[in-house]
């Protein structure tokens, strides 16, 4: 696992200062503490920071191909590189190293951009072909590894694994994109179609760019996508056997390492399944790491201990409490862009714990998206059934009107909190799912924004890109579209961003075996009843894992990596909540209305309403703006 950065002059071929590339890569030193390198040629410069995992001493980067005609800076792991290497050797390729980096170079020279479909792994890389004078930028199927891009004055493109690599370039401008604020206040993160700073982009997951000197960059090209239009046939027992085989393949392929390896263990279905399959194929006890909370209602360490005992793992755990929130500023610096998923702090803690014992850790990310494990997906499937039997001309007048009149009752039992459901049923399925995903509805956001910001935002709404993604999805049903949206929008923007930044911040490589693309493609083809029965998601996966895990792990109510924000922001962090309203970064530059933020804090601290998530969102935005130091 590594960090990469570089500069490409596409307008005029100018020399690239190696020191400038070095400063960009030095800003990513946490991603690669084991080595660094810079390579430059007329019009191009590549930089690399290395965390040694495979071929510890033999694969320094940037790396030139055996014939010297191509150079690469690569971040990630290619799990099938040995098979690819054997195939390429049969075709005449020669290798000087034992790692996966040189395999990508040879694959490019053999197959060109088609090499991407042959790579099984997580990756972002920059490859410069000296003969073609062409730069090839690519990102893996799901966006496990990030790649930021920025247009610079003078016709150059800069790129880096994290935004801090771009910010180390003195030509970077720091102007906040107001549409990114709208996105962030809706989702709690800045999705991959935008960045917090104007002029910065993210190469989308499953896309590549080919850049030539003398030609302006074109749009990224998609090289992989999920397909929900086909369905597997066969008995449940046969589908279960296929699923188990694919899960085993995903886990065992990601256990290849020349350094100590372990797993994150929350006690939920996904991480417990990964630990079970690791233990099955490992001769030594698996090292497992868990994080708990000082609030009993959200603490899952007892379940993690149960799984650890069942598989005799070398288990380690740590408790997160509110007095550890001195790291708020550190979280903001780690993510660069504002990031309000409150589980980022415990995820950082479990990464720190894991790094004390291993250099690589396997996670359970991806199963909820792939196999319909989120409650919102089940609710959406039910809502789509209702929409299918009611004419659209009737839905809005009936459900939309009821939804607008229904009181917002966060304090009430779930069956009485119908406002969101009614509003959702009043619109399209895409609009309804966007409303279910959003932290704040359009109506709630407008109450917080300053009038100047509303004018600058114009007609744009953060839900629009998600709704279009769902409308255009290769899918057959509402459930398909919801899962597609989660895999393409939520997963790279939130889940994988969180895991990448927190693990890399401590020099730990995190791998996602349940995001093996063959496993995800299989999940997309499963009939509905094998994914979802009633409100129980991941049905086939849970059935398959019954031979390994007890029912109290498989069938207890899904909890997720929940952080007790509401309690902390009414107690030890109440002063932080009150300080939000007086922040000049939020209210002194035309973003938010001061009185609206003060009202949020007062209502939450008094217990009249639960605004914990929104207050945390605003707090992390304020800290991020402090870190970014934007210009006017």
List residues with catalytic annotation: 2
Distance from C-alpha of 383 to C-alpha of 397, rounded to nearest angstrom: 16
Can you read off the two tokens belonging to residue 149?
A: 């891009």
Distance from C-alpha of 382 to C-alpha of 385, rounded to nearest angstrom: 5
Distance from C-alpha of 464 to C-alpha of 485, rounded to nearest angstrom: 12
Cα atoms in the Cβ-side hemisphere of radius 13 Å centred on 594: 9
Distance from C-alpha of 313 to C-alpha of 288, rounded to nearest angstrom: 6
Angle at which helix 328-335 crosses helix 496-505, to 10 degrees, equals: 110
CA distances from 152 to 170, 173, 199, 527, 632 (A): 10, 9, 8, 48, 18
Number of H helices, E strands in the chain: 30, 19
CA distances from 438 to 184, 367, 405, 443 (A): 10, 21, 20, 12
Q: Give the strand pairing for 156-160 and 148-152.
A: antiparallel
* Helix or strand run (H / E) with residue 121: strand 121-129
Can you read off the two tokens belonging to residue 312?
A: 């005799």
Alpha helices (H) along 407-508? 419-425, 429-437, 442-448, 451-457, 463-471, 478-485, 496-505
């Amino acid at each position: 696992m590594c960090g990469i950065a570089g500069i490409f002059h596409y307008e005029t071929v100018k020399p690239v200062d190696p020191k400038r590339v070095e400063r960009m890569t030095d800003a990513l030193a946490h991603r690669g503490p084991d080595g660094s390198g810079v390579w430059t040629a007329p019009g191009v410069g590549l930089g690399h920071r290395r965390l040694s995992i495979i071929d510890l001493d033999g694969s320094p980067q940037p790396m030139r191909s055996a014939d010297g005609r191509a150079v690469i800076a690569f971040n990630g792991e290619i799990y099938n590189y040995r098979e690819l290497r054997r195939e390429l050797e049969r075709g005449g390729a020669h290798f000087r190293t034992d790692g996966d980096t040189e395999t990508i170079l040879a694959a490019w020279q053999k197959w060109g951009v088609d090499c991407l479909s042959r790579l099984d792994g997580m990756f972002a890389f920059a490859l410069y072909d000296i003969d073609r004078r062409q730069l090839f930028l690519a990102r893996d199927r799901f966006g496990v590894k990030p790649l930021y891009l920025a247009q610079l004055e003078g016709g150059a493109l800069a790129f880096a694994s994290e935004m801090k690599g771009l910010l180390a370039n003195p030509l970077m401008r720091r102007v906040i994109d107001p549409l990114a604020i709208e996105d962030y206040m809706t989702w709690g993160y800045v999705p991959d179609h935008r960045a917090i700073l104007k002029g910065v982009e993210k190469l989308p997951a499953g896309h590549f760019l080919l850049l030539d000197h003398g030609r302006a960059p074109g749009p990224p090209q998609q090289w992989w996508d999920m397909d929900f239009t086909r369905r597997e046939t066969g008995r449940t027992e046969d589908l279960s056997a296929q699923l188990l085989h694919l899960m085993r393949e995903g886990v065992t392929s990601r256990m290849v390492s020349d350094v100590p390896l372990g797993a994150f263990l929350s006690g939920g279905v996904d991480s417990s399944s990964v630990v079970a399959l690791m233990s099955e194929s490992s001769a030594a006890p698996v090292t497992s790491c868990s994080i708990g909370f000082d609030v009993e209602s959200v603490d899952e360490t007892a379940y993690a201990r149960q799984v650890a005992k069942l598989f005799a793992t070398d288990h380690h755990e740590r408790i997160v409490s509110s007095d550890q929130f001195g790291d708020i500023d550190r979280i903001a610096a780690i993510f660069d862009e504002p990031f309000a998923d409150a589980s980022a702090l415990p995820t950082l803690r479990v990464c720190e714990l894991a790094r004390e014992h291993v250099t690589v850790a396997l996670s359970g990310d991806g199963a909820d998206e792939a196999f319909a494990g989120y409650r919102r997906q089940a609710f959406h499937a039910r809502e789509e059934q209702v929409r299918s039997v009611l004419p659209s001309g009737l839905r809005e007048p009936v459900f939309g009107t009821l939804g607008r009149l229904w009181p917002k009752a966060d304090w009430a039992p779930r069956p009485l909190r119908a406002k969101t459901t009614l509003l959702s049923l009043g619109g399209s399925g895409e609009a309804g799912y966007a409303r279910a995903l959003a932290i704040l509805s359009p109506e709630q956001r407008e109450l917080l924004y300053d009038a100047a910001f509303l004018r600058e935002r114009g007609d744009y709404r953060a839900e629009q890109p998600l709704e279009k993604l769902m409308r255009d999805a290769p899918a057959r049903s509402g459930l398909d579209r919801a899962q597609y949206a989660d895999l393409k929008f939520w997963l790279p923007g939130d889940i994988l961003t969180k895991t990448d930044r927190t693990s890399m911040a401590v020099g730990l490589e995190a791998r996602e075996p349940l995001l093996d693309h063959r496993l995800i493609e299989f999940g997309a083809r499963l009939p509905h009843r094998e994914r979802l029965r009633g409100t129980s998601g991941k049905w086939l996966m849970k059935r398959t894992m019954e031979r390994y895990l007890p029912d109290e792990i498989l069938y207890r109510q899904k909890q997720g990596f929940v952080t007790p924000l509401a309690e902390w922001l009414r107690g030890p962090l109440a002063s932080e909540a009150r300080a939000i309203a007086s922040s000049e970064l939020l209210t002194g530059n035309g973003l938010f209305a001061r009185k609206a933020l003060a009202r949020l804090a007062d209502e939450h601290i008094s217990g009249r309403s639960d605004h914990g998530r929104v207050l945390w969102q605003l707090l992390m935005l304020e800290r991020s703006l402090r870190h970014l130091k934007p210009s006017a």
